[in-house]
């Protein structure tokens, strides 16, 4: 049977001979039929179960008729904001509107509303009064309880209350959605579907709620008392386990939000089946005229090999969404998808990624997790690897070796997150060696995030010494391989626990390793993370200890500037930060200084050595340094990169007048313009960047 896109309008339905669909899936993302996109997975899973599914991607939420495009569904509406929370999609950490939306055609902004799940549900209720509505995806999953909302700086009710939906599916939703569909198909009213793991519902009373439930502080109490908020979050965090987790209840006014225990992870056979469904691996053709869907470019030639993560970083929502139990696809399933990718018309020989939330996690952390659940009070890797942790890269390494040998494959990259502490805990060096030899394109991206012991503790990240040991081993292996590769570390500023002194400490570390990050990520308080609970309450919910939280714009700007202290435009902020932190010893000309005194330009020999080491590390030895003074001046002049005074001096030195210089520049610009115009007429198009340097990583961490 030929595979086609699911219906997006009445014409598509008629071409299939359908009068009515069973489910309409409304999504905040454009329609991309690829397993890295949640709506594609859920719709194909339901199709495989025998249901007729139509999709309304990015409807105009101002028009009720947009939600009537496919008619009233027989069984219900499924609603998702898309692969991202709509507020994160729209706003930067500084609450400024973003310029691009990678999940929309041509990166166009404004094709989904703020708080998309709520808005879509309200419009559906306008169109069809009593139709069942089931919400899911990242936005719904992470906002299922009363939660702190960074954008309004308030505690909001459960999204199930605000949206007036009937059911909320959290986590990876394949099992839940098929079971819900079966009950609806059998004629059971949605208000009676209250027992499925991995779902939430609203109850008028606690009668009928499964025994052994835990009641956490109510919405009212968490909104009024930060200590109560922390207490509620601790229970939510610790009970997100499918084996030992309990039902959780939270009062909202006169009603109760009830979260059933999490659904069990898919077995390997079940996961293989999900990723083996008939995806077209492309965006719907209706987006071609707008330039396609940019988010697809990052994952089209990537393979999702696993789900779940036992790393449990405090600022990551994976624990709350996918859980700590890692699931992985079989070698056969991964190789089969790889062959399919190589047969795509636009495949150029490069598999961009093979991974998941953490590429080098393939199995549950230990056998106990499947029998008794993940430990309630302990972490697998923090503060150090657990003695029961199963450490083995051989299976993953074997898969990578077979992928490298496939016909048409030139290179297999690993660009998903790599847990370097897990690599360092492996007594064998084989994986690390082959990773650097075959699967890195010159730069390996890792995320130490910080260097301060206190901040790393609050982040639940490994100690800084582990990263130093990793760096040392990285360069030793590369030296043996005869390769010149580099580490690109990601660092985060203004995370809870990060004082100005801790930020200075990180700046000093960057000075010592001669590295300055081009971009710095401020901590972003998104729903569902331990770090966000710290940010709001000033408490670590797991210990109830106080945590320092940088919140003022000025301090956050200073902390960020300290990570980029070499940038001239950051000088004032760095200077202010060092004065406020009482670290004026770092203002001067010595080798340990971060900046020079105001108005001073003199270099010491040590200062020159320091800057020289930085430049060598950045691999930016300029060709201009090999030219004599006259050549440099001519080069700069031809590119218009010198000021008027300098231009005048060059003109005088070379015996030219200002007018001659001006005429010469105009002649060159005119000549260059003619060449550009001629080139454009000859080719008729702009040359694209080489496909041999792909970017991005697997995004397959979202449901619905």
pLDDT of residue 701: 43
Residue 647 vs residue 187, higher pLDDT: 187
pLDDT of residue 600: 63
Domains (range + CATH), the chain? 10-207+255-259 (3.40.50.280), 301-435 (3.30.750.210), 442-580 (3.30.750.200), 630-660 (no CATH)
Give yes or no for a contact between 459 and 450, defined as CB atoms under 8 angstroms apart: yes
Token reading at 75:
């069984």
Token reading at 349:
């020989």
Mean pLDDT of 15-30: 98
Give yes or no for a contact between 75 and 184, defined as CB atoms under 8 angstroms apart: yes
pLDDT of residue 634: 44
pLDDT of residue 666: 52
Residue 98 to residue 111: CA distance in whole angstroms: 13
Q: What angle do CA 304, 694, 321 make, to 5 degrees?
A: 30
Burial of 85 per CB tally in 10 Å (0-12, 13-18, 19+): buried
pLDDT of residue 168: 98
Mean pLDDT of 352-381: 94
Residue 159 to residue 354: CA distance in whole angstroms: 34
The DSSP line for 58-126 is S--TT-GGGGGTT---SSEEEEE--SS-HHHHHB-TTSPBPS--TTSGGG-S-SS-TTHHHHHHHHHHH
Does the pLDDT of residue 177 top 70, yes or no? yes
Q: With bands split at pLDDT 50, 70 and 90, how would you rate the model's confidence at 673?
A: very low
pLDDT of residue 564: 96
Residue 619 vs residue 192, higher pLDDT: 192
Kindly report, residue by residue over 317-329, the tens digit of the pLDDT.
998 999 999 999 9
pLDDT of residue 3: 79
pLDDT of residue 663: 52
Kindly report, residue by residue over 31-53, the tens digit of the pLDDT.
999 999 999 999 999 999 999 99
pLDDT of residue 7: 98
Beta strands in 285-361 (DSSP E): 302-304, 306-307, 327-328, 350-351, 353-355
The DSSP line for 136-167 is EHHHHHHTSSSEEETTTTEEEPPHHHHHT-SE
Q: Report the 10 Å Cβ neighbour count for 149.
A: 19
Token reading at 43:
């719709």
Residue 648 DSSP code: H
Calculate the CA 179 to chain-centre distance.
29
Among 387-401, 465-479, 498-512, 603-617, where is mean pLDDT lowest? 603-617
Q: What angle do CA 328, 333, 334 make, to 5 degrees?
A: 75
Q: With bands split at pLDDT 50, 70 and 90, how would you rate the model's confidence at 590?
A: very high
Mean pLDDT of 337-361: 96
Q: Quick one: which of 109, 104, 108, 176 has its CA closest to 140?
A: 176
Note the residue count of the chain: 704
Token reading at 413:
């990259």
- What predicted TM-score, i.e. pTM, was given to this entire model? 0.85
Q: Report the 10 Å Cβ neighbour count for 437.
A: 15
Q: Quick one: which of 613, 610, 636 has its CA closest to 623?
A: 636
Residue 671 vs residue 698, higher pLDDT: 671
pLDDT of residue 210: 85
**pLDDT more than 90, % of the chain:** 82
| Rounded (to 5) percent helix, strand, coil in the chain | 40, 15, 45
pLDDT of residue 622: 36
Cis amide prior to 383 (ω within 30 degrees) = yes
Calculate the CA 385 to chain-centre distance.
25
Residues 458, 571, 94, 320: what is their CA dihedral angle, to the nearest 10 degrees? -20
What is the pLDDT of the chain when averaged over all its residues?
88
**pLDDT more than 70, % of the chain:** 85
CA distances from 619 to 82, 325, 520, 566, 641 (A): 40, 41, 20, 16, 22
Does the pLDDT of residue 109 top 70, yes or no? yes
pLDDT of residue 693: 36
Kindly report, residue by residue over 608-625, the tens digit of the pLDDT.
444 444 444 444 333 333
Kindly report, residue by residue over 229-266, the tens digit of the pLDDT.
999 999 999 999 999 999 999 999 999 999 999 999 99
Does the pLDDT of residue 665 top 90, yes or no? no
Mean pLDDT of 574-589: 97
Strands 486-493 and 521-522 turn out to be parallel
């Amino acid at each position: 049977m030929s595979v086609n896109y699911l219906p997006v309008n009445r014409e598509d339905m008629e071409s299939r001979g359908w009068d009515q669909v069973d489910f309409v899936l409304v999504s905040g993302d454009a329609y991309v039929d690829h397993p890295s996109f949640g709506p594609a997975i859920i719709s194909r899973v339901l199709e495989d179960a025998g249901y007729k599914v139509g999709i309304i991607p990015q409807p105009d939420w101002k028009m009720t008729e947009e939600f009537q495009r496919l008619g009233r569904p027989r069984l219900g509406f499924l609603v998702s904001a898309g692969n991202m929370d709509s507020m994160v999609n729209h706003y930067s950490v500084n609450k400024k509107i973003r310029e691009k939306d990678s999940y929309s055609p041509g990166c166009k902004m404004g094709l989904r509303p703020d708080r998309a799940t709520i808005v879509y549900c309200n419009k559906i209720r306008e169109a069809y009064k009593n139709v069942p509505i089931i919400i899911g995806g990242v936005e719904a999953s992470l906002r299922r309880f009363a939660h702190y909302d960074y954008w309004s700086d308030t505690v909001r009710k459960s999204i199930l209350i605000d949206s007036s939906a009937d059911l909320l599916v959290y986590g990876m939703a394949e099992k839940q959605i098929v079971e819900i569909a079966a009950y609806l198909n059998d004629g059971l009213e949605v208000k009676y579907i209250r027992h499925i793991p991995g779902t939430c519902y609203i109850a008028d009373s606690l009668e009928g709620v499964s025994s052994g439930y835990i009641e956490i502080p109510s919405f009212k109490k968490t909104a009024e008392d930060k200590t109560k908020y922390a207490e509620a979050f601790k229970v939510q965090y610790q009970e997100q386990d499918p084996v030992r987790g309990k039902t959780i209840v939270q009062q909202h006014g006169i009603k109760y939000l009830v979260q059933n225990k999490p659904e069990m992870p898919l077995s390997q056979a079940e996961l293989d089946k999900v990723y083996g469904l008939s995806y077209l691996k492309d965006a719907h053709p209706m987006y071609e005229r707008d330039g396609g869907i940019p988010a697809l470019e990052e994952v089209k030639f990537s393979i999702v090999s696993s789900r779940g993560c036992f790393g449990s970083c405090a600022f990551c929502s994976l624990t709350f969404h996918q859980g700590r139990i890692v699931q992985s696809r079989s070698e056969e399933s991964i190789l089969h998808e790889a062959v399919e990718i190589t047969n795509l018309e636009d495949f150029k020989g490069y598999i961009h990624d093979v991974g998941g939330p953490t590429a080098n996690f393939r199995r549950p952390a230990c056998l106990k997790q499947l029998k008794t659940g993940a430990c309630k009070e302990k972490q697998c890797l923090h503060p150090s690897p657990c003695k029961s942790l199963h450490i083995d890269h051989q299976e993953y390494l074997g898969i990578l070796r077979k992928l490298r040998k496939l016909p048409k494959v030139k290179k297999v990259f690993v660009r998903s997150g790599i847990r370097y502490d897990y690599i360092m805990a492996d007594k064998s060096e084989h994986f690390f060696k082959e990773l650097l030899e075959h699967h890195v394109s010159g730069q390996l991206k890792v995320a130490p995030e910080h260097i301060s012991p206190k901040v790393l503790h609050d982040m639940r990240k490994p100690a800084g010494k582990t990263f130093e040991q990793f760096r040392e081993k990285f360069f030793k292996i590369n030296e043996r391989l005869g390769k010149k590769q580099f580490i690109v570390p990601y660092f985060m500023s203004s995370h809870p626990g990060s004082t100005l002194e801790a930020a200075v400490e990180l700046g000093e570390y960057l000075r010592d390793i001669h590295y300055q990050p081009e971009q710095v990520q401020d901590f972003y308080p998104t729903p569902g993370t331990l770090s966000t609970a710290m940010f709001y309450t000033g408490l670590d919910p797991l210990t109830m200890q106080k945590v320092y939280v940088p919140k003022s714009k000025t301090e956050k700007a200073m902390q960020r500037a300290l990570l980029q202290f070499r940038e001239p435009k950051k000088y004032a902020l760095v200077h202010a930060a060092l004065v406020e932190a009482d670290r004026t010893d770092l203002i001067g000309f010595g080798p340990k200084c971060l900046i020079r005194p105001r108005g001073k330009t003199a270099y010491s020999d040590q200062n020159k050595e320091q800057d020289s080491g930085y430049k060598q590390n950045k691999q930016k030895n300029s060709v201009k340094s090999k030219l004599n003074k006259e050549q440099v001046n001519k080069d700069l002049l031809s590119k218009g990169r010198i000021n008027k005074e300098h231009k005048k001096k060059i003109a005088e030195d070379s015996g030219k007048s200002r007018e001659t210089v001006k005429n010469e520049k105009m002649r060159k610009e005119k000549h260059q313009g003619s060449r550009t115009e001629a080139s454009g007429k000859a080719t008729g198009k702009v040359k694209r960047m080489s496909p041999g340097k792909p970017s991005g990583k697997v995004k397959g961490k979202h449901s619905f």
